Chain A
Amino acid sequence: MTDGAVRGGAASTAASLLAAVGGGENVQALTHCWARLRFVLKDRAAVDHATVTALPEVAIAVDQQGQYQVALRAGLLETYDELITLINEHQEDHHG
């Protein structure tokens, strides 16, 4: 797979994932470790857990340590970067 293909896949994964956790407005903070994206969400109830776990790129998603943690099968760093871009764009639209 080329870098471009990984990047494109990451962008669409990021968009689907963000929508399923309640959109950019629901994300208070996002970090990652080596296996997981770690969302701190304003409203946990806004998460569509079934949709998240049904995404082909998602290996597993769990609630832990006050975070909604999502392990991806691949492309974690790229997807994280895309998510941060989307969340920043969203926040600029609303507060900028």
Chain B
Amino acid sequence: MKVVKVFNNNVVLGMDERGCERVLLGRGLGFQATPGDEVDADRIERRFVPSSAANADRIAAFIDEIPLADIELTERVVDLARERLGANVTEHVLVPLADHISFALRRAAQGAEEIEYPLRWEVQHLYPAEVAVAGEALDLIERERGVRLATVETVPLALHLVNAQLGAPDLSTTVQMTKVLRRILAHISGEYGLQIDEGSVEVARFVTHLRYLFLREQRGHKLSGTADALHEALRGARPREYVTAGRIGTLLGEEFDWSITTDELLYLALHVSRLVDVGAPRRDDGSVP
């Protein structure tokens, strides 16, 4: 590991043998160090991974100002999230999440008013697994710090965890995805006059499918190779749902500038069919008692 940049006596930017940059924290790491020097590995206490959302400069400023105890607390929250949600909760989440938690603790200490977070309903209904982990995180924070953060704080925590799994560059992409998920469900509800039960297994599966679709598109993976006969069979059996899937594809294409493959449409049509099969008619359209 070589020194690339010295931020201060305790924080340097290092580059390892594979050319990966890491912001390194350790007492005296930067003292009298100059770029090109070998990093004193024994002094490294913590490594942080820069990303487009939190670049090296921002991380350096961040570890200079955020109490180390808050970073350690967040590491435990991230460990908990990995245990519950899987290893796809990437380490990139550490800095933005620690930033959020530290700020939440600061707000609580100063008695600042509760925040009415955007997309509260959507986060609670579309990401129940992340909200549950966020609830456990509040318990963890309370045990460690003796501070019970407001329940509404599960919303941003859950959203950071969703973001971490999407590998999205920043929260705005996750915000956009969340809004689109909601629009898609509303569209299906309106089109078929259905009462969509967000707590149902079918909706959970559909949302999970859409999240993976999102992940595929982010990484440029295109689904292809499904037999034509399958397309024909589903189009024949569920023509209306096939059309709905096409509309969803168009919506995603317009919103994110993606070209949705016909294979993706096939899966969407299957999910829509499932939602239609299990959905109860909407009570507000007067068609059912």
* Chain A interfacial positions (CB closer than 8 Å to B): 32-36, 59-60, 62, 64-66, 69, 71-77
Contact = CB atoms under 8 A, between A and B. Distances in A.
A73 B100 contact: no
Interface in B123-168: 155-156, 159-160
Contacts of A75: 116, 118
A60 B100 contact: no
Interface in B232-248: none
Interface residues of B, number: 25
B171 A33 contact: yes
Return the 6 tightest CB-CB contacts between A and B, nearest first. Answer: A74-B116, A34-B156, A65-B61, A60-B112, A77-B118, A59-B112
Contacts of B115: 35, 59, 71-74, 76
Contact of B65 (A33, A36, A65, A72): A65
A59 B107 contact: yes
Contact of B117 (A34, A64, A65): A34
Give the most central of A33, A75, A76: most B CB within 10 Å: A33
A73 B110 contact: no
8 contacts: A33-B99, A34-B117, A34-B155, A35-B104, A59-B112, A65-B61, A73-B113, A77-B175
A60 B114 CA distance: 10
A73 B116 contact: yes
Nearest to A31: B170
Nearest to A66: B61
Contacts of B104: 35
B96 interface: yes
Contact of A34 (B58, B61, B110, B160): B160
A16 B104 CA distance: 25
A73 B114 contact: yes
B114 A33 contact: no
Contacts, number: 58
A73 B175 CA distance: 18
Nearest to A33: B171
A62 B118 CA distance: 21
Given A35-B156, A59-B112, A65-B61, A71 B103 contact: yes
B276 to A, nearest CB: 29
Contacts of A76: 115, 117-118
A69 B115 CA distance: 14
B106 interface: yes
B256 interface: no
Contact of B159 (A34, A36, A59, A74): A34
B161 to A, nearest CB: 12
A71 B114 contact: no
Contacts of B7: none
Given A34-B160, A65-B61, A73-B114, 19 more contacts: A33-B171, A34-B100, A34-B159, A59-B114, A59-B115, A60-B106, A60-B112, A65-B62, A65-B65, A65-B99, A66-B61, A69-B103, A71-B103, A71-B115, A73-B115, A73-B116, A74-B116, A75-B118, A76-B118
B113 A59 contact: yes
A76 B160 CA distance: 16
A68 to B, nearest CB: 13
Contacts of A35: 100, 103-104, 115, 117, 156
Contacts of A72: 115
